[in-house]
Amino acid sequence: MSPRTRQPDMRIGYGWDSHEFKSGNPLKIGGVMLPHDKGLGGHSDGDVLLHAITDALLGAIAGPDIGVLFPPSDSQWKNADSVVFLREALQRVKNAGYKLVNLDSTLILSAPKIGPHADAIRKRVAELCGIPGDCVGIKAKTPEGMGTDNAAIANVAVLLMRSERSAR
Ligand SMILES: [Zn+2]
């Protein structure tokens, strides 16, 4: 039996990321610029949601994680558009013979309020991932009692199914 025949029809993936708020940075979440007095520092453009989606996709196919593929220590990824990371993960999912069915996310941050921007984020993420908007969950919570008011955290779950081409 070849390894391919043992491939499951469906796979879940889970991703988590956090970034610290920094003054003077633009705030980008899910590929959307949000009006706020601080942005997210750290790796690339600090898009915590796209990073968690990327890791969830890579995790679903048991691939290397975002930090291995795009090391923060590598200066070429400084201020990079995180869409690049997401595209690489989607390509790897495709190469593995799978496609993304849906994704669900929970953002945890004290500010800004995500509610007014949730539809814009949903639309952008759906477009980037090539899935319908009603297959993208965008939820947000404030970090009650967690002491993480100066950070944005993203949790993401994805479901993959075997693509037609590789289905048997
Ligand atoms: Zn990140």
**Tokens for 37?**
């007095």
| pLDDT value of residue 5 | 63
| CA torsion, ordered 72, 73, 79, 80, to nearest 10 deg | -60
Q: How far is the CA of 44 from the centre of ligand 1 (A)?
A: 8
How confident is the model over 101-133, as pLDDT tens digits? 999 999 999 999 999 999 999 999 999 999 999
Give the other-Cβ count within 10 Å of 158's Cβ. 28
| pLDDT value of residue 165 | 63
Q: How far is the CA of 101 from the centre of ligand 1 (A)?
A: 23
Q: Are the beta carbons of 66 and 55 closer than 8 angstroms?
A: yes
Q: How far is the CA of 68 from the centre of ligand 1 (A)?
A: 12
**Tokens for 90?**
């989607």
How confident is the model over 8-65, as pLDDT tens digits? 999 999 999 999 999 988 999 999 999 999 999 987 999 999 999 999 999 999 999 9
The share of the chain scoring above pLDDT 90, in percent, equals: 88
What integer best gives the mean pLDDT of the chain? Answer: 94
Q: How far is the CA of 131 from the centre of ligand 1 (A)?
A: 22
Q: How far is the CA of 72 from the centre of ligand 1 (A)?
A: 9
Q: Are the beta carbons of 125 and 87 closer than 8 angstroms?
A: no
**Tokens for 159?**
């479901």
